[in-house]
Amino acid sequence: MTTRKHDRLRVLSSEPAEPEFSPGVDEPPSELDRREMMKLLAAGAGLAGVGSLAGCMEEPRERIMPRVTNPPELTPGVPLSYATSMVIDGFATGLLVQTYEARPTKVEGNPDHPASLGHTMTYHQASVLDLYDPHRARGPLEAGTPTMLDRLLRNIARREPMTGLWFLMHPQSSPLLADLIAAVRQRHPGTRFAFHSPLDRRQVYEGARLAFGRPLEAQYRFTQADVVVSLDADFMGAMPNSVRWAYDFAQRRRLHGPGGQMSRLYLAEPRPSPTGSLADHRLPARPSEIALLAQALLSAVQGATAPSGNLTPRQQRWVQAAASDLGSRRGRSLVIAGDRQPAAVHAAVHAINQAIGAIGSTVAFTEPAILEPLGDGLPELASAMQSGQVQTLVIVETNPVYTAPPELDFPALLAKVPETLYAGDMLDETARQCQWFVPLSHYMESWGDARAYDGSISLIQPLIRRMYDSVSVWELVAAFAGDEQPDGHRLVRQRYADEAADAGLLTWQKHLQLGVIPNTALPPQQVSAGAGAAPPQLSGAGSSFEVSFEESPSVYDGRFAANSWLQELPKPHTKITWGNAAVVSPATARELGVGNEDVVRLVRGAFHVDLPVYVLPGHADRCVTVELGYGRSAGGPVAEGVGVNVYRIRPPSPASHASPVQVIATGGTQRLAYTQKVFDQHGRDIARYAEAAFYQAQPQFTEAQRGPLPSWLPEFFENNYQWGMTIDTMICTGCSSCVVACQAENNIPVVGKKGVIDDREMHWLRIDTYREISGDDVEFIHQPMLCQHCEKAPCEYVCPVYATQHSPDGLNEMVYNRCIGTRFCSNNCPYKVRRFNWFDYTEDTPKTKQLQFNPNVTVRARGVMEKCTFCVQRIRAAEIVARRERREIQPGEVATACQQACPTGAIQFGLLHHNGTNVVEWRKEPRAYAVLHDLGTRPRVMYLAKITNPNPELDD
Amino acid sequence: MADRMLAEYPSEAAIVHAIHRLREDGYVDIEAYMPFGSHVVEHALDRPRSRLPIAIFVVGICAALGAYLLQWFLVAYLYPLVVGGRPPHFPLAFIIITFEMGILFSGFAAFFGTLGLGRLVRLVDGVQGTPGFDSATRDRFWLEVSMRDPAFDPERTRQVLADAGALRVEIPEGSP
Amino acid sequence: MIHPLYPHWSNTVYRAVIVAVLLGLASLVLLPWLYVRTTYNTNQFVPWDQPVEFDHRHHVRDDGIECLYCHSAAERSPSAGVPTTEVCMGCHSQIWSDSPLLEVVRRSYFSGKPINWRRVHDLPDFTYFNHSVHVARGIDCVNCHGDVGSMARVVQVQPLTMGWCVDCHRAGTQHIPPPNVPRDSWEASLQMLGDEPARNRDVTLLTTCTACHR
Amino acid sequence: MSKALLIGRPTDAALGDQLLGTTWRRGGRTWWIVFAISGALTLMLFSLITYTVVTGIGVWGNMIPVAWAFGIINFVWWIGIGHAGTFISAILYLFEQPWRTSINRLAEAMTLFAVLQAAMYPVLHLGRPWFGYWLFPYPSQMEVWPNVKSALPWDAAAVSTYFTVSLLFWYLGMIPDLASLRDSAPTRRRRFIYGLFALGWNGKATTWRHYRAAYLVLAGIATPLVLSVHSVVSSDFAIGLTPGWHSTIFPPYFVAGAIFSGFAMVLTLLIPVRHIFKLHNVVTEKHLENCAKLTLVTGLIVAYGYITEWFLAWYSGNASEIYQAWIARPLGPRATVFWITMICNVLVPQLFWWKRVRRSVLALFVMSLLINIGMWGERFMIIVQSLQREFLPSMWSSYAPTWVDIGIFVGTMGFFLFLFLLFLRLLPVVAVSEMRELRHDLERGVEHG
């Protein structure tokens, strides 16, 4: 029911002075009043002994602040959503952001954007929270004292040509920035730009150069791949184009019936990843072993029959099977290597793809979207700083003091630089050691552009006027290029004047509305591997302990550490929140004589860190996986002191893993906050799974878990207007995007580490993960678990005050303001999806954060139960529009937040009489089942059993 | 204004004897006061059984019916809501409260019935304060003869009571 | 003769006291129960001070301006919306353009600072009322807001308690007036037509909780 | 050893002096010390209650999945204790057991005070206690009403009825004694005050007639009531799906458990009181022994309840039920409580088979304490251990109480003791008029068993 609009300027221009409230709101963001009201209610009723809801309302009286003038597209109370893009390490993902009266509240994917197709990852969902972070820097600082931004920029713009000017920033793909960089170089000759991210992809381009003679970006077409072999590539979870690839892979993967065809996935990786949980043959391998596997695979596909020597039998079998599958499906298979793997592995993989005829069919190559992929990086900058060539250093966003390898001793280097300026959203570790600080605008406050992974130019437009005295990257760089009053909007319009020239403004507005400029994807290049270097010799793996450095699925490289939603997001396989652990395999844990929460010390040369252990079946032996991005010492109270900073032992190169490393049990222990403690189904058929062959033989294997059960209760749902949800577990990677989406949509509070340890997390939607262990193999089944909206709901009949009961359209309704908090419903809920407000979690919500609250969802006060509502606010809103227009609800008109976010589209929701829609057709499939069906609760959420497609040859 | 004559007896047996004597002499309007509910004395006075239980029963039944009706009215009629697929009118679930209310109100009936029929809830009656009468709640039995009794004659009655073994005979000054 | 424990008049006092105690206990429940039903508690009929002495009588009755002319959002949005200063100035830049009464309006218009009205009809924040659908179903403004056209200062005439909402949502059809019938003759025509006007507008009466609480 | 219910043949007056005298003889130092302690604990209770209500129920150890814990455990425990009183005064009265006479007053007082403690918990454990009154069908402006299909309004009805009826029963039974206090208490002030509560009782035969009728009827209705209350409480669990709750054995099993713990508590209180007030002549070994016998009987029923649970769990073939009964409870988290429960509730009562144990005051006292502990453990086992191991292993967890939980529990014990001590000082501990009646019956040689 939200309408997409183009240019936001008129809306923004009409705002009165105070930017923290969105003015013109005919009900100003009233969470505060709501909360006070709840309290007053409490007090009033408490004293009175009886009271009515209206009873305690008279003071404080709400004020109404109508706009002075209304832009035509804005109707107070009706949300609008606008297209923009979020950029992570240079790659843009198109988003639609929903706003209420110029107040962004919720992020969705942009269906028209090639890197999103309407879906999102956790980072995108959570980014709206960063916008309202009360600890964002509010103005520029000069040596710690506030100063004026415009004067600062003017001074920068008026600087004489400088020598020894360096920039350090995340990898960039913005065409506009490219122009500005050129302008800077022109104005300040000899200026150098170093692009660096802790999760650098330099080795990817290096690998391409080895293979093809020049840096290229591989474009994978998973929709056409019957067989995928992944060498440490979490392509559905942790790669620049993951959102798109997850969707593509799922298309080829999902079974539509017992007879259907599904792709097969071979995957070798140190620790289970989201992608790993879908793998048919998951081979736990230490990072260093990946190279060997790559080499073995290469020689195998090239026809070498003799198995390469230094592989274990299991690895050999895996390689052989993969090779034969790849070979037998020429042009319908592909191999992909993890970004962090060394260049040589990438080169080898290109060679393999060449050998199996993937290149040109399932893999295409384009110029990288990234600027200067093999240009200057941190090492170059470091040596320049070392040799004192750097006079002025401008660091944008990236946080080297925190992330740089300990060998560099970056703080010391920084001290050598006469003039340092840091631009970032917070006063983080690096900012504190630079003499100038400029606040960086949130992307929802900025004008800009960037390229998607496939090169499509995505536009970034602001959704709210700048909350603080800040600049965007483009404006900052423009200032160095001599622009005295850099204005993002102007810069972008100038840059795209010619794109829009043909039809002028209208086209421009169309592009803005679309969020992406059509047909700007980079063209495929004609390449053939081996043109460059011969297949390189790969270094072997030692037998000593390795530490594998992973990006955190929650806080990435640490840049999202200030985001409490992400901090409290359970990690796909360990379910750990608020921190990182030393993840090891059971065998290794036995070898070290440690268990969960025992602290171990990881020693690499002179450097060491202490972390609590987490034992994860399916992990590679003699290898410890640690997540980056924790243990921040600055950057807001949420980020600081959570987890352990493992950058302190991370080697400069290869950055992916460290070896040899000593692992010593210190004897200490440290609490980890995980949301799931038992991962074994105990023989209860809760999360069903089967192999494709078995499914073909017995399609009805879940029959006992669906269909009617005898009941002496009458049938209630006489009308056929009923809502339902279907979830296909075979394409659920456990990425948890849905969890954050739900949190953003439904004003779900965070409870902090102690809260999680006390089992009081509030997520309405959680992802239960079960590990089915058979020998070396571990099958991971992710089961998104939310309110099942049972037709015969056990929670309902035990509520003494009707705070939860059933709607005629089949929703299990939860009425917060009626709830008195007996918690009987939670006890009686077999799925344990109900959450309770043990304290007043929303009481101290900062004013800025309150702006994020979804105005259509009540903010819960203390002492009430809450749970998934199937996003009833969206349902009712759509119904009202339909009623107004005197029509039926159309298929697809209502989507729940989790459904919208899910990259693979595993969650489907809709009306059960809309035949032809996924939600209806899927639940007709034979592998559909209801969890705990035998209880007779008649859940409205149907699950589809997970089907795997192992290679018959590999049955062991 | 005095309206009765009281006599104190040492024991159950003594007062029973006295009661028989009086009845032989044709006294009808007599009453006893005793430290515990003695069947023997009651038997001697031979009074009809108390009607209180019937009243209690009636109240209890009405309360139960009322409770059931109220539940039906609120839950099945005024705002019928579906919980756990149960029908709005769900007798099985209504039974308990019905039963409890029946009990509760019979309890009230029994208690307040006693207060009412027993003429309680007062501080002053005709006999309190009569010299020595406080033994009536301890260990002595008192016999009361109303002066309105046709057979009553101040002298003779006093004599009869004394002969029956009264420890003392008193005439309380009038009740309010 | 020892003098009695209690004076002869004490029975009356004793019973009176007992009755008083019982009544006192009962009133602990009864008084608040009555209080919440008073218009004082529901804020009915309170002529709040407003920054601008806006007189609906003049605009509605004398000038015959429709409600939806100023509160246009009521047709499209959950909230009816208080008109922007722009709307006021639409007319008042021409007429009464220098009236002192309109000083606040002009200042708002030229300074761009909104006028700070006081909310008269105030629902709890956990209650989601949607004007547009009610208007689309032909519920006349008067049903809930009273005859604003005859009010100098707008006051809340209905209790706006949940009971009041629910009454209409249980049996609301007779609250929906037939089209183009003057207000004073609603009763009559409704007695004639019954719930036909409601059926014509296919009114659905929602009593499920999430209709208002989300 | 005499098996008499009344040792010696005291006169009515003597009985009066001995039994009413407890109200005017001055309390010894021990009494004051204990009284002070219980008073302090009471203060602590109410400050902790304030703390909970102000801060939020989160200060307790409850969480998801264990959303009910100490609050409900203590509720059920106290309610259970509250059962012996009415059982003794009502059921034994109907069965014309003369030995009830000397202990029913004390047992009823215990009942009232225990139920009072119990009644606090359901309100306290609410997330929003100030809305507790929504459980009652008052004419509300919201025009939504309590859901009588839930077990909680049943609870509210049952518990409040039970308290009210017990109170009336207790008070009615006390009126004659109050009257005799009015007439025999030493000081005029005392007489005056007791007189106010005696409601002008003067022992008139007519009044006695209605009184005895009413008393009989009250006993008659209190009997099904006392059985119903714990059945209703058990339905808080039995109507749920939770493995370990969803069982038809619950009502009888709970009622038996209640009377079991009730008699244990009677012994715990009776033995010291008997000693302090030198009531050996009215509260004889015979009384104690009968209590012991009833404890044994109900204890056996409870044991049978456990066995049935295990059997049904296995017989149901339901994985969750089997795991709950056979693995989670004996071996799972907090299994120690399970074993304590088994020892205290199943093994300890077996000692009552021996007369020597039944006759040994010390043994009785110790065992009664053990049984009280055991019955608390049983409720912990049923509530917490069941919730710890429900249907979805993904949500399995283990519970630990906070200091507030423990503080409030101890606080209620203090409050209970506080009230009980006041009762001992201010009101006749033994029903005097009934003792007199009993005495006369005995004299007439109407010696009952």
Quick: pLDDT tens for B32-50. Answer: 999 888 888 888 888 888 8
Kindly determine whether residue C5 and residue D182, on different chains, have CB atoms separated by under 8 Å. Answer: yes
A885 shares a domain with A741: yes
Is the Cβ–Cβ distance between B18 and B167 less than 8 Å?
A: no
Closest CA in chain C for residue D144: C163
Contacts of A300 (CB under 8 A, 6+ apart): A307, A319, A320, A322, A323
Task: CATH number of the domain at A848, please.
Answer: 3.30.70.20
- Token look-up 């002529």 returns C47
The pLDDT, as a whole number, for residue A531 is 44
Which of B83, B121, B124 best tests the C interface by mutation, with the highest count of C CBs <10 A? B124
Identify the residue with better confidence: C183 or B66: B66
Residue with tokens 């800040």: A470
Residue of C11, C18, C19, C168 to mutate, testing the B interface (most B Cβ within 10 Å of its Cβ): C11
The candidate with the shortest Cα–Cα distance to A723, out of A552, A904, A923, A523, is A923
* Chain C adjacent subunits, 3+ CB pairs under 8 A: A, B, D
Confidence of residue D99 (pLDDT cuts 50, 70, 90): confident
Describe the strand order of the beta sheet including A907-911 as a list of residue ranges.
A907-911, A723-728, A941-944, A928-929
Per the prediction, chain A carries an average pLDDT of 88
Q: What are phi and psi of B81, to 5 degrees?
A: -120, 145
In a domain, A107, yes or no: no
Digit-coded pLDDT (tens) for A412-421: 999 999 999 9
Whether the predicted pLDDT of A678 surpasses 90:
yes
Determine phi and psi for D315, rounding to 5 degrees. Answer: -70, -30
For residue A39, is pLDDT > 70?
no
Domain that holds residue A810: 689-948
Residue A738 and residue A797 in one domain:
yes
Whether A576 and A704 map to the same domain: the answer is no
For residue B114, the model assigns a pLDDT of: 94
Q: Is the pLDDT of residue D114 over 80?
A: yes
Question: Who among A676, A820, A839 is closest to D126 (CB)?
Answer: A820
Across B91-100, average pLDDT: 94
Q: How confident is the model at residue D442 (pLDDT cuts 50, 70, 90)?
A: confident
Choose the weakest-confidence range: A580-584, A718-722, D304-308, D376-380: A718-722
Map out the domains of chain C as residue ranges.
Answer: 10-35, 41-82+117-211
Residue ranges of domains in chain D, CATH in brackets = 35-135+145-448 (1.20.1630.10)
Question: Residue A502: pLDDT above 90?
Answer: no
Split at pLDDT 50, 70, 90, the class of A19 is very low
- Domain contains A38: no
Q: What pLDDT, on a 0 to 100 scale, did the predictor assign at position A54? A: 33
Structural domain tally of chain A? 3
Neighbours, chain A (3 or more CB pairs < 8 A): B, C, D
| Closest residue in chain C to residue A46, using alpha carbons only | C32
Residue in B35, B56, B111 closest to D172 by CB: B111
Q: Is the pLDDT of residue C3 over 60?
A: no
* Cβ <8 Å between B122 and C1: no
3-state SS track over chain D: CCCCCCCCCCCHHHHHHHHHHCCCCCCCHHHHHHHHHHHHHHHHHHHHHHHHHHHCHHHCCCCCCCCCCHHHHHHHHHHHHCHHHHHHHHHHHHCCCHHHHHHHHHHHHHHHHHHHHHHHHHHHCCCCHHHHHHHCCCCCCCCCCCCCCCHHHHHHHHHHHHHHHHHHHHHHHHHHHHHHHHHHCCCHHHHHHHHHHHCCCCCEHHHHHHHHHHHHHHHHHHHHHHHHHHHHHHHHHHCCCCCCCCCCCHHHHHHHHHHHHHHHHHHHHHHHHHHHCCCCCCCCHHHHHHHHHHHHHHHHHHHHHHHHHHHHHHHHCCHHHHHHHHHHHHHCCCHHHHHHHHHHHHHHHHHHHCHHHHHCHHHHHHHHHHHHHHHHHHHHHHHHHHHHCCCCHHHCCCCCCCHHHHHHHHHHHHHHHHHHHHHHHHCCCCCHHHHHHHHHHHHCCCCCC
| Shortest CA distance from D153: residue in chain A | A800
Which among A50, A681, A822 has CB closest to D393? Answer: A681
Out of A9-23, A173-187, B51-65, C168-182, which region has the weakest mean confidence (pLDDT)? A9-23
Chains that touch B (3 or more CB pairs under 8 A): A, C, D
pLDDT tens digits for D193-206? 999 999 989 889 99
> Between D171, D180, D212, which is nearest B35 by CB?
D180
Tens digits of per-residue pLDDT, A194-225? 999 999 899 999 999 999 989 999 999 999 99
Name the pLDDT band for A3 (thresholds 50, 70, 90).
very low
Instruction: Give the nearest partner residue to B83 out of A711, A805, A938, using CB atoms.
Output: A805
Is there a single domain that holds both residue A575 and residue A659? yes
From C14, C29, C162, residue closest to D141, measured CB to CB: C162
Residues of B in contact with C18 (CB under 8 A): 121
CB–CB of B36 and D144 under 8 A? no
d(CA A629, CA B28): 103
* Pairs of CB atoms within 8 A across A/B: 36
**Chain A residues in contact with C205 (beta carbon < 8 A):** none
> For the domain that residue A227 is a member of, what is the CATH number?
3.40.228.10
Chain D residues bordering chain C (beta-carbon distance below 8 Å): 138-144, 182, 188, 191-192, 195-196
Q: How many CA atoms lie within 13 A of C151 on its CB side?
A: 16
pLDDT score, position A104: 92
Chain D residue with the nearest C-alpha to that of C163: D142
Cβ-based contacts of B50 with chain D (< 8 Å): 209-210, 212-214
Indicate whether A26 pLDDT > 70: no
* Residue D97, pLDDT above cutoff 90: no
- Confidence band of D134 (pLDDT split at 50, 70, 90): very high
Using a CB–CB cutoff of 8 Å, tell me whether D140 touches chain A. Answer: yes
Chain A residues with beta carbon closer than 8 angstroms to that of C133: 880, 883-884
Q: Nearest chain C Cα to A30, which residue?
A: C125
Check residue B122 and give its pLDDT: 87
Q: Check which CATH number belongs to the domain holding A588 and give it.
A: 2.40.40.20
Q: For chain B, which domains are there?
A: 4-49+137-170 (3.30.70), 52-117 (no CATH)
On whether any CB of chain A is under 8 Å from the CB of D385, the answer is no
A528-532, D30-34, D162-166: the lowest-pLDDT one: A528-532
| Nearest Cβ partner for A808 among C28, C136, C208 | C208
Which 8-state DSSP code applies to residue A571?
A: P
**Whether D197 contacts chain B with CB within 8 A:** no
Is A784 part of any domain?
yes
Please name the residue ranges forming H helices in A663-788: 692-697, 737-745, 752-757
Please check the confidence at residue B160 and state whether its pLDDT lies above 80.
Answer: yes
pLDDT (tens digit, 9 = 90+) per residue, A425-465? Answer: 999 999 999 999 999 999 999 999 999 999 999 999 999 98
pLDDT digits (tens, 9 = 90+) for D37-86: 999 999 999 999 999 999 999 999 999 999 999 999 999 999 999 988 88
Kindly report the nearest CA distance between residue C173 and chain D, in angstroms: 19
- Predicted local confidence at residue A955, as pLDDT: 67
Which pLDDT score is estimated for A837? 95
| pLDDT the model gives residue A306 | 60
Is the model's pLDDT at A50 over the cut of 60? Answer: no
Q: D126 vs A863: CB contact, 8 Å cut-off? A: yes
pLDDT digits (tens, 9 = 90+) for A839-886: 999 888 888 888 899 999 999 999 999 999 999 999 999 999 999 998
D-facing residues of A in 675-694 (CB < 8 A) are 676-684, 686
Which residues of C, range 61-100, sit inside 8 Å of A by Cβ? 73, 76-79, 81-86
CB of A802 within 8 Å of any CB in chain D?
Answer: yes
Residues C115, A66: C-beta atoms closer than 8 Å: yes
At residue D11, the pLDDT reads 81
Q: Smallest Cβ distance to C162: which of D138, D142, D188?
A: D142
> Where among A639, A674, A709 does a domain terminate?
A674
- Residues D161-166 have a mean pLDDT of 95
A800 domain-assigned: yes
Q: Which of A37, A66, A807 sits opposite C114 (nearest CB)?
A: A66
Residues of D in contact with C166 (CB under 8 A): 142-143
- Considering only CB atoms, which chain D residues are within 8 Å of C6? 192, 195
Lowest-pLDDT choice from A32-41, D10-19, D408-417: A32-41
CB contact under 8 A, D142 and C33: no
Nearest Cβ partner for A52 among C36, C204, C214: C36
CA–CA min distance A73, chain B (Å): 41
Chain B closest CA to D437's CA: distance in Å? 6
> Using a CB-CB distance cutoff of 8 angstroms, which residues of chain D are in contact with residue C37?
141
User: What ipTM does this complex have?
Assistant: 0.93
Identify the DSSP state of A385: H
Percent of chain A residues topping a pLDDT of 90: 74
Q: Are residues A737 and A882 located together in one domain of the fold?
A: yes
Contact criterion met (CB < 8 Å) for D175 and B120: yes
Domain final residue pick, A321, A341, A366: A366
- Tell me the shortest Cα–Cα distance from D53 to chain A, in angstroms: 10
Interface test mutation site (partner C, options A13, A880, A881, max chain C beta carbons within 10 A)? A880
Per-residue pLDDT band for A501 (boundaries 50, 70, 90) equals low
**Residue D107: what pLDDT?**
92
Query: Is A841 domain-assigned?
Result: yes
Question: For residue D292, which phi and psi values (nearest 5 degrees)?
Answer: -60, -45
| Cβ atoms A905, A244 nearer than 8 A | no
Q: Provide, as residue numbers in chain D, all residues whose Cβ is less than 8 Å from the Cβ of B107.
A: 161, 164-165, 168-169, 218, 221-222
Cβ A817–C118 below 8 Å, yes or no? no
Q: Quick one: A661 and A731 in the same domain?
A: no
- Tell me how far apart the alpha carbons of residues A745 and A765 are, in angstroms, rounded to a whole number: 12
Instruction: Say yes or no to pLDDT of A913 above 60.
Output: yes
